[in-house]
Amino acid sequence: MNVEELLRDSLCELAAEQRPAGPGYADRVLAARRRRRNRRLASVVAATAAVVAVAVAVPLLDPGKETVRPAGVLDKGGVHAHPDQSPPRDVIAAGQAVLAAYYRAEVEPQTDKRAVSQRTYWLLDPKTGKYEKDSRWSFVAVAPGLKTAAVLERSLPAQRIGLLDLTTGEVERWIPVERGVGGLAFSYDGSRLVATTYDENPDLRIKQKLIDLNEKETWMWGTEFGESSRSGFYDLDVASGEGHWSPVAPDRSIGSRQDFEFSRAGDRVYSQVIGAGDGLQQFYRLDGAKAAAPANEKGLRSDVPARLSPNGSLAALGLTKEVNGKPGKSYSSIRDPRTGKEITKVRGAHLLAWADDRRLIAWERVTGLNETYRPQLVLVTIGSDKVVPLSGVREEPAKGVDWDTWEPVFARR
């Protein structure tokens, strides 16, 4: 480690320790502004007798001459929509949620019977606001703040984790790992990384024969359910790269890739399990032992990525109602995370990320219920039936094309 790296780590650590400004901060600022304006107005009134004095005081009514706006910096408060782009070329964002990357997977045969579903990522360049293809990585997790991504090289499982500076496109630091890693996820505050370890490439595909109702045989690349090589996870401190590995007992009710993610508080990890219902999840302590779900995450679904709202008071759940029409309308459930009771329904078929405590980014259909499901990214608001298109319509790849459709990766600003 050199001085620059230590400096970077120290700044990140100091920043991460800061508690938020607290509720009502905006109102306190506005009140301070009103007081300041009143004082200045009073000074102007007092000086009306002297023209010169007025001439001096008036400019004070327009505080702040810093009108220079850096070019190419993202608008961090507003909505960036490109409803004509699928996959997107220019930044898509709403509130604190940014489409930080997307990927497409392609099946690459290795032998007659084995193949690997290889991902290729397009990463948001924060300077240009455009998505740029970066073929170096097989897995990318973007940290909150969109400055750093954790990356794995093409060959999985990987023996080192890269911390990629998204501004320069260069790896700032490598974290070597003894056990091969196949998946990564940041904690909610971005200070830690959970790295799921596998003995084999978790994206292996094997050739499988399907026999349809007409007894017609087709061959396709599929995963072998119940054959996951997942061995455990590393819990790593991003600043120092230090951490420990915890073994997790093999489980036959998981898919070949079943990555761990942190709970909101970061004191547990969870992953999806396949069982009686969709979106089931199993939590683990950080030493790898099975654990109960935290009280506020008990009712969540592992297949709905939005999970808890920023302030933790609402839980994003799954599709609950569909209304036919042109296009059809989907509604997902918003629940109290502690009681599991539905509070309301919000537009959207699949809730992906919270833009703020009232708005979410979701996939929503552009077709009727009797047509093929074709979605686009939209911004939905609790209490409103309005949807704001953010991306173009995602099309399924044509038959015979090995590329999957694009999958979004969201991060908080």
Partner 1 sequence: MDAEAQDSFREFVENRSSALLKTAVLLTGGDRHAAEDLLQNALIKAAGHWYRIDEPEAYVRQILYRQQVSRWRLKWRRRELTVAEPPEPGANPDAASAAELRLLMRGALARLTARQRTVLVLRYFEDLPEADVARILGCSVGTVRSTTHRSLARLRTLAPELTALGPQAADARPQPSRDFSPVEVRP
CB of 69 to partner 1, least distance (A): 6
Only one of the segments 31-39, 106-114, 156-164, 364-372 lies at the binding site for partner 1 (rule: CB under 8 A); that segment is: 31-39
Establish if 242 lies at the interface with partner 1 (CB under 8 A): yes
CB of 379 to partner 1, least distance (A): 14
Instruction: Spell out the residues 6+ positions from residue 177 whose beta carbon is closer than 8 angstroms to its own.
Output: 158, 159, 160, 161, 195, 197, 234, 245
Establish if 165 lies at the interface with partner 1 (CB under 8 A): yes
Establish if 38 lies at the interface with partner 1 (CB under 8 A): no
Select from 42, 46, 58, 73 the one that contacts partner 1 (CB under 8 A). Answer: 73
Establish if 176 lies at the interface with partner 1 (CB under 8 A): no
How many residues does this entry show for the chain? 413
Establish if 16 lies at the interface with partner 1 (CB under 8 A): yes
Only one of the segments 30-38, 200-208, 258-266, 396-404 lies at the binding site for partner 1 (rule: CB under 8 A); that segment is: 30-38
Cα atoms found within 13 Å of the Cα of residue 354, Cβ hemisphere only: 18
Identify which of residues 205 and 359 has a Cβ nearer to partner 1 in the complex. 359
Looking at the DSSP assignment, which residues form a beta bridge with residue 362?
Answer: 351, 378
Looking at residue 51, the DSSP 8-state letter turns out to be H
Residue type, 271: S
CB of 138 to partner 1, least distance (A): 24
CB of 327 to partner 1, least distance (A): 29
**Contact positions with partner 1 (CB under 8 A) in 134-163:** 145, 147
Select from 48, 110, 167, 339 the one that contacts partner 1 (CB under 8 A). Answer: 167
Backbone phi, psi, residue 339, to 5° = -95, -20
- Which has the closest alpha carbon to 103: 81, 118, 84, 90? 118
- For residue 347, CA distances in Å to 99, 305, 380 come to 19, 16, 6
Select from 39, 45, 75, 278 the one that contacts partner 1 (CB under 8 A). Answer: 75
Backbone phi, psi, residue 171, to 5° = -80, 120
Only one of the segments 60-68, 117-125, 280-288, 369-377 lies at the binding site for partner 1 (rule: CB under 8 A); that segment is: 60-68
Select from 41, 46, 63, 341 the one that contacts partner 1 (CB under 8 A). Answer: 63
Instruction: Spell out the residues 6+ positions from residue 341 whose beta carbon is closer than 8 angstroms to its own.
Output: 335
385 vs 314: CA distance, rounded Å: 18
Select from 44, 47, 53, 74 the one that contacts partner 1 (CB under 8 A). Answer: 74
Establish if 42 lies at the interface with partner 1 (CB under 8 A): no
Residue type, 335: R
Residue with tokens 């300041």: 36
Do residues 123 and 109 make contact, with C-beta atoms less than 8 angstroms apart? no
354 vs 356: CA distance, rounded Å: 5
Establish if 13 lies at the interface with partner 1 (CB under 8 A): yes
Establish if 96 lies at the interface with partner 1 (CB under 8 A): yes
Establish if 214 lies at the interface with partner 1 (CB under 8 A): no
Q: Is 334 left (phi over 0), alpha (psi -120 to 50) or beta?
A: beta
Q: Which residues in this chain contact partner 1 in the complex, by CB under 8 A?
A: 1-16, 18, 20-21, 25-30, 32-33, 36, 62-70, 73-78, 95-96, 145, 147, 165, 167-168, 239-240, 242, 356, 413
